[in-house]
Structures are given as C-alpha cells and as structure tokens.
C-alpha cells in the first residue's frame, strides 16, 4: 500500500545508497520506505539536495512543500510522465471552450458538492431544515445557469448558507463570521484552509496518475490557478472529507483552541500538535473504505478521487456521461 | 494508470525477491518496452501464476519479435513462481504471424476515438484497469 509521509520537524533529507534518510536536529536518522511513499509533505525546515530530488523522481514521488504556518508553497513533480494523451487534452479543451459543455461539467461538480453539504447538514436535520431548504432552492436555480458567472453566483449563495449552518453544528465555541480565505483570522477558518490545501494536493496527486491534464478546468477559470482541475474535483470532496474531519475533530475535542497560534494578531494557524492531529484524522479518513456499489469492492475515499478522474475521462471521450459521486452510504 | 494496482505492486515486489541469481534485471529497450531479464540466448519473464498463460505467451512473443526487428535472435522462458514451472517460447513462422496480427489489432483499438464497449471477462476482476472500465454512478439516488 502506498502512503503519504509527513515531515514536521527541522532537519535534513538525503539519499544514502538506495534509501532516503531523514535526520533531525538531534542527528537521529530515520529511513523512509521509498517504494511505499506516494507523496512526501514537508512542513518543517528541511535541507535537501538534487541527488535526493533525482531519486524521488525515479519513484514517482511528489514532494510538497509547506511553510511554517502550514500554507502550501509548491511541489516538486517527478519528470513529465510518459503517459500523456494528446487526444485527451484536445477533448479536455473542447469541453472547456464549448460554453454548454463547460457549464454542464461545472454544474456537475457543484451538484456533487451540494449533495455532500446537505448530507453533512442532515445530521442535525431539525436545526438545519431552513438552511437545507435554502441551499436546495439555490441549487435548483443554478441548474438554469447558462454561463459560469451565474453558476458561481449561485455557488456563493449556497456556500454562505452552508457555512452558517455548519458553524451551528460545532460543539465548541469556534464561531466565525464568514468564511475568509486568506489569511485565515480565526481557528475555524484556519482549519478550512489547512484541510482544503490537503484536499487539493490529494486530488492533484490522483489526477497526476491519470492522463488528465490538471491545468484545464471547468468550474474554476484555468488561468487563475495552475492546477485548477484539482480545484474543480475537490469541490465534490471538500464537504465529504475536509468538513467531516473538521466536524469530528472539533466535536470530539481532539482539536481545541490551544492547538492554534496567532501571528501578528492577524493570521491564525494550526500549531505543530494541531497539524499532526489533523493529519492523523485526515489519513484515517482517506484510508476508510466503503463498498462501491458498481465495482462491488471495498474502495477507499482516496481511490474514490481517482475514480472521479476516470469518470471524467470517459465523459471527455464520449464514452459515458459524467455524473458526480454522491455518497450513498 | 496501473501504478497502484495492488497486483502490479505485488509483481514488482516479486521481481525483487525471486530469482536472485538473475543479476541484470528489467531491461528497457529503446525506452519502449521492458523485459524482466535477458540471460544468454533467453529472454526471461517471471510471473506469479499461470492463470493468464495466453497473454503471457503473447507478451513474450512481442518481446522476441521486437528484438528480432532489431537484429537480435532470442528464445523466451516464462517462469511461474506459484506452480514452480518454466515454459519455453520460440518465435517461429506461425508465432510471428500471430504476434503481428495482435499488434495490428491493438493499433485498431488505439486508433478508435472511444474505448471499445466493456465486455465482461473472467479476468477483469484481476485487471489493473478494472476501476476505469467499470466505474459509473447509479442512475437514481434515494436520498
Ligand atoms: S477490466 Fe477492462 S481492460 Fe481489464 S480485462 Fe476487463 S475489459 Fe479489459
């Protein structure tokens, strides 16, 4: 089984013979099982050299770098994989430049997201009835949108209702006024930022293992972010994975206010212990399996992301019509 | 796409653990195809089990044919670890015709605009592309 590996402390990563070693401040060396790593996430301040990067490329490992506050800085990708498909890229672009086809895909991503938002709110059905109704109504309206701007407008309204109701479900005092993207100013926003970053990386590393081109997207504008397709697909999974992790971390008091630090009275971020607790819950969630109705086999949440890429490929090839995942369990 | 299929991974680990005497492992020819090993006059492949003998045989023929096109004459040996047996493959006229036909057929599939319709086959269950071929969403959801 391949897994993600996280480095938190400061130290040094290097290749010695055919192994990667992590050496921490105290000169303690830990070997990392290179054949088993899918992604290496570096949060601490770590020294490394090109010999290591070359080695990591051979094993198709992506190296993601985050700054001290847990914000994503960049990725070192292994050499361009050989399995690119020119044909598929053309199809991807066609579906982008044809307005109707683009809106179709964009609203399918929204559909999946909304389904999972409602699914989360349903846990507290009585309190959330009003919000659920408003979200459903707004979603229905969005289905008549003929362009992306209009669709995004509806999405904004949905999100507002959703976050309001979401905050009501928290058992600790983690209130937030509105969802602020960056920099996060309160703990709840910090959790969303951190979780969403992990989600984008996860989706991207699954896209990377298919022949899809991650820069051509539908709901998000391809020009604004380099790997905007991962933002598109993440829309479906954020409420299903990130928000559920956050809900359970807060409501089980695994994460409390003491797991946050504030920089300059402005930026709120998870401290090391907070990040570790988050990532532990995150990894558990992604490895959790459900029995897939169509495949009839146990499928992890992480593999569900890959399957979403496959369904998109089939849609682009005209082999099947894309429908988003809607958790049925 | 087949990177993470457990079976492929199992196969990779197998290479590292079995037949340690075969020194030079995984020969990559013209950046196009990979063979487990070339050993004197033999090309060798190691397989877990003999469940897919047909396609193992064809794969070997493909290697032998590709080598022949590059002026190298070899024979093939396929070893099945589970059954502890080894079979020999020789590229004669019939086999050459067979592999050429298969290559032509593969191109016909590759050049289609869409993948062919999925046909349920007994070995789909252990195929690395299973997820791709069979994933769909159900039509109606009871919410
Ligand atoms: S799963 Fe797909 S690729 Fe694999 S054998 Fe079946 S039809 Fe062929």
User: SS3 for A195?
Assistant: helix
Tens digits of per-residue pLDDT, A54-91?
A: 888 888 888 999 988 888 888 888 766 556 678 899 99
Phi, psi of A290 (to 5 degrees): -125, 155
* Cα A154 to middle of ligand 1, angstroms: 40
- How confident is the model at residue A195, as a pLDDT? 96
Q: What percent of chain A has pLDDT over 90?
A: 67
Look at strands A62-66 and A37-42 and give their pairing.
parallel
Is the distance from the beta carbon of residue B72 to the nearest atom of ligand 1 less than 6 Å? no
Express each pLDDT in B48-70 by its tens digit: 888 888 889 999 999 999 999 98
User: How confident is the model over A251-268, as a mean pLDDT?
Assistant: 90
The pLDDT value given to residue B138:
81
Q: What is the pLDDT of residue B100?
A: 95
- Contact criterion met (CB below 8 Å) for A44 and A10: yes
Confidence of residue B142 (pLDDT cuts 50, 70, 90): very low
Does the beta carbon of B127 lie inside 6 Å of ligand 1?
Answer: yes
Q: Determine, for residues A325 and B137 on separate chains, whether the beta-carbon distance falls below 8 Å.
A: yes
Are A74 and A284 in contact by the 8 Å Cβ rule? The answer is no
CB nearest B132 (choices: A293, A310, A318): A310
* Terminal CA-CA length for chain A: 24
Rounded to the nearest integer, the mean pLDDT of chain B is 80
**Residues of B in Cβ contact (< 8 Å) with A83:** 1
> Over the stretch A318-329, which tens digit does the pLDDT of each residue have?
989 999 999 999
Residue A164 has pLDDT above 50, yes or no: yes
**Pocket perturbation via mutation, ligand 1, pick of B133, B134, B136 by most ligand atoms within 8 A of CB:** B133
Whether A266 has a pLDDT exceeding 90, the answer reads no
Distance from CA of A38 to the nearest CA of B (A): 10
Helix (H), strand (E), coil (C) string for A31-81: EECHHHEEEEEECCCEECCHHHHHHHHHCCCEEEEECCCCCEEEEECCCCC
Which residue out of A319, A327, A329 would a mutagenesis test of the B interface target, given it has the greatest number of B Cβ atoms within 10 Å?
Answer: A319
ω into residue A183 within 30 of 0, thus cis? Answer: yes
Q: What's residue B68's pLDDT? A: 92
Distance (Å, whole) CA A204 – CA A226: 11
Query: Does B110 lie at the interface with A, CB-CB under 8 angstroms?
Result: no
Question: Can you tell me which atom of ligand 1 is nearest the CA of B118?
Answer: 7
How many angstroms separate the CA of residue B38 from the nearest CA in chain A?
A: 22
pTM of the model: 0.84
Task: Tell the residue nearest (CA) to atom 3 of ligand 1.
Answer: B129
In ligand 1, the atom with minimum distance to the C-alpha of B128 is 4
pLDDT of residue B1: 46
pLDDT in tens, A32-53: 888 888 899 999 899 999 999 9
Distances (CA, A) of B9 to A245, A315, B4, B13: 30, 29, 7, 6
- The verdict on B132 touching A (C-beta cutoff 8 Å) is yes
Q: Looking at chain A, which runs of residues are DSSP E strands?
A: 3-7, 11-16, 19-24, 29-32, 37-42, 46-47, 62-66, 72-76, 260-263, 267-270, 289-291, 298-300
* Helix B93-110 vs helix B53-69: crossing angle, to nearest 10: 100
Looking at the partner chain, which of A35, A209, A323 has a beta carbon nearest the beta carbon of B137?
Answer: A323
| B137–chain A Cβ distance below 8 A for any pair | yes
In the structure, what pLDDT confidence band is assigned to residue A17 with cuts at 50, 70 and 90?
Answer: confident
**A294/B114 touch (CB, cutoff 8 Å), yes or no:** no
Q: Is the CB of B123 under 6 A from ligand 1?
A: yes
Is the separation of the CB atoms in A275 and A235 below 8 Å? no
Q: Is the confidence at residue B11, as pLDDT, over 60?
A: no
Q: B39 - beta bridge partners?
A: B42
Which of A105, A83, A80 is closest to A94 using CA atoms?
A105
Q: Take residue A231 and report the two structure tokens written for it.
A: 């933002």
Q: Pick the residue with more confidence: A86 or B17?
A: A86
Provide the ipTM.
0.79
C-alpha–C-alpha distance, residues A143 and A104, integer Å: 9
CB–CB contacts below 8 A, A to B: 57
Give the pLDDT band (50/70/90) at residue B20. very low
Can you tell me the mean pLDDT for B63-78? 92
Instruction: Work out the widest C-alpha separation in chain A, in whole angstroms.
Output: 61
Please say if the pLDDT value at position A136 is more than 90: yes
pLDDT at A259 over 50: yes
Distance between Cα B101 and ligand 1 center (Å): 20
Residue A212: closest C-alpha in chain B = B1
Q: Which residues of A touch B (CB under 8 A)?
A: 1-2, 35, 38, 60, 83, 115, 209-211, 292-295, 303, 306-307, 310-311, 313-314, 317-320, 323-326, 328
What is the whole-number distance in angstroms between the Cα of residue B127 and the centre of ligand 1?
Answer: 6
User: Which chain B residue shows the shortest CA-CA distance from A115?
Assistant: B143
pLDDT at B23: 45
The mean of the pLDDT values for chain A is 91
pLDDT of residue B34: 72
Query: Taking CB atoms and an 8 Å limit, are A313 and B134 in contact across chains?
Result: no
Q: Summarize pLDDT for A217-234 with one digit per residue, the tens.
A: 999 988 766 789 999 999
Q: Are strands B27-29 and A298-300 parallel, antiparallel or unpaired?
A: unpaired
Nearest beta carbon to residue B134 from set A115, A294, A318: A294
Closest of A237, A186, A217 to residue A106, by C-alpha: A217
User: Hey, are the CB atoms on B3 and A60 less than 8 Å from each other?
Assistant: yes
Tell me: pLDDT of A103 over 70.
yes
Residue A114, token pair as written in the block: 């909304």
CB atoms A328 and B138 under 8 Å = yes
């Amino acid at each position: 089984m391949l897994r993600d590996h996280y480095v938190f402390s400061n130290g040094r990563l290097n290749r010695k013979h055919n192994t990667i070693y992590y050496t921490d401040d105290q000169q303690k060396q830990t070997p990392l099982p290179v054949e088993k790593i899918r992604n290496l996430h570096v949060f601490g301040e770590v020294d490394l050299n090109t010999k290591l990067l070359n080695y990591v490329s051979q094993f198709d490992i992506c190296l993601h770098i985050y700054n001290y506050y847990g914000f994503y800085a960049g990725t070192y990708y292994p050499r361009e994989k050989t399995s690119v498909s020119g044909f598929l890229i053309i199809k991807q672009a066609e579906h982008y430049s044809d307005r109707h086809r683009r809106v179709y895909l964009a609203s399918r991503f929204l559909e999946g997201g909304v389904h999972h938002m409602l699914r989360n709110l349903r846990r507290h059905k009585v309190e959330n009835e009003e919000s659920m109704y408003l979200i459903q109504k707004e979603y229905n309206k969005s289905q008549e949108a003929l362009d992306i701007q209009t669709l995004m407008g509806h999405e904004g309204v949905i999100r507002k209702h959703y976050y309001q109701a979401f905050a009501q479900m928290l058992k600790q005092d983690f209130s937030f006024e509105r969802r602020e993207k960056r920099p996060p100013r309160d703990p709840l926003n910090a959790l969303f930022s951190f979780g969403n970053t992990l989600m984008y990386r996860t989706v991207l590393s699954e896209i990377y293992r298919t022949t899809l081109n991650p820069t051509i997207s539908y709901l998000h504008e391809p020009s604004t972010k380099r790997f905007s397709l991962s933002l598109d697909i993440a829309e479906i999974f954020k409420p299903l994975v990130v928000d559920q992790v956050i809900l359970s971390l807060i409501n089980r008091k695994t994460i409390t206010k003491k797991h946050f630090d504030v920089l300059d009275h402005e930026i709120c971020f998870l401290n090391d212990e907070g990040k570790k607790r988050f990532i532990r819950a995150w990894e558990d969630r992604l490895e959790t399996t459900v029995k897939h109705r169509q495949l009839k086999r146990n499928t992890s949440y992480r593999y569900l992301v890959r399957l979403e890429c496959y369904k998109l490929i089939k849609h682009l090839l005209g082999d099947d019509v894309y429908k988003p995942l809607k958790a049925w369990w | 796409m087949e990177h993470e299929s457990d079976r492929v991974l199992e196969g990779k680990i197998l290479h590292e653990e079995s037949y340690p005497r075969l020194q030079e492992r995984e020969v990559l020819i013209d950046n196009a195809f990979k063979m487990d090993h070339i050993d004197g006059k033999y090309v060798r492949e190691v397989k877990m089990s003999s469940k897919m003998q047909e396609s193992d045989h064809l794969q070997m023929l493909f290697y032998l044919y590709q080598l022949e096109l590059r002026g190298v004459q070899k024979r093939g040996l396929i070893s099945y670890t589970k059954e502890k047996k080894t079979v020999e493959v020789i590229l004669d006229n019939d086999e050459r015709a067979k592999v050429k036909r298969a290559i032509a057929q593969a191109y016909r599939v590759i050049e289609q605009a869409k993948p062919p319709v999925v046909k349920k086959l007994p070995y789909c269950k252990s195929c690395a592309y299973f997820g791709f071929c069979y994933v769909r969403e159900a039509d109606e959801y009871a919410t």
